[in-house]
Amino acid sequence: MKKFFTVILLFTPFFLLAQLQKSFHQVYEVSDSVQTLELRLYGEFEHKAWAGNTIMLQTKVTLYDANNSILKFFMENGRYEVTSEQIGNILYLTATDQERRIIKSDGVECYEVVEQKIYIPDSFLPTGDDVFTKAIEENGTHD
């Protein structure tokens, strides 16, 4: 029994890895002139239609083997930031950091999980890879 507890005590630190988690939202206005939305995000993301007239991006970052200062630094320096730019009738949402290099702390790689959900007005329909177009009403005009 004594050996059992010794083994448990030896392996407990491996199960208690430091894990930081932060969630935040970004909201983007969609002007009436926007007919197409093009997403230039980094990595995988999930998109959902919603009844709103704005675009909302929900980002959840989980960082292992790092301290809060490291996560705060990367957030303040735009690692997870997405900017919007309208050119003509196209709205582009672009990830500021298109590379996301490996994070290291004290020589140890910090495992990073970034989950993103983007809520797009239901008046836009998917028409290609990461492209959404405003639906056309029955009278031939855009919504």
Q: What is the pLDDT of residues 55-66, one digit of tens each?
A: 999 999 999 999
In a domain, 118, yes or no: yes
In a domain, 104, yes or no: yes
In a domain, 27, yes or no: yes
Rounded CA separation 100/140 (Å): 43
In a domain, 85, yes or no: yes
pLDDT (mean) for 103-127: 94
In a domain, 2, yes or no: no
In a domain, 5, yes or no: no
Count of structural domains, the chain: 1
With a pLDDT cut of 90, the percent of the chain lying above it is 72
pLDDT (mean) for 88-117: 93
Query: Which one is predicted more confidently, 56 or 142?
Result: 56
Structure-token match 């993103």, residue found: 116
- The answer to whether residues 13 and 104 touch, using CB atoms and an 8 Å cutoff, is no
Query: Which one is predicted more confidently, 111 or 10?
Result: 111
Rounded CA separation 138/127 (Å): 18
Structure-token match 């994070």, residue found: 103
> What residues have CB less than 8 Å from 121, skipping those under 6 apart?
30, 49, 50, 51, 52, 53, 54, 55
pLDDT (mean) for 70-82: 93
**pTM of the shown model:** 0.79
In a domain, 1, yes or no: no
Strands 54-64 vs 112-121: parallel, antiparallel or unpaired: antiparallel
Range of the domain at 53: 19-134
Give the residue among 30, 55, 51 at the shortest CA–CA distance from 122.
51
In a domain, 33, yes or no: yes
Chain-centroid distance, C-alpha 106: 26
Q: What is the pLDDT of residues 3-22, one digit of tens each?
A: 654 545 455 444 445 689 99
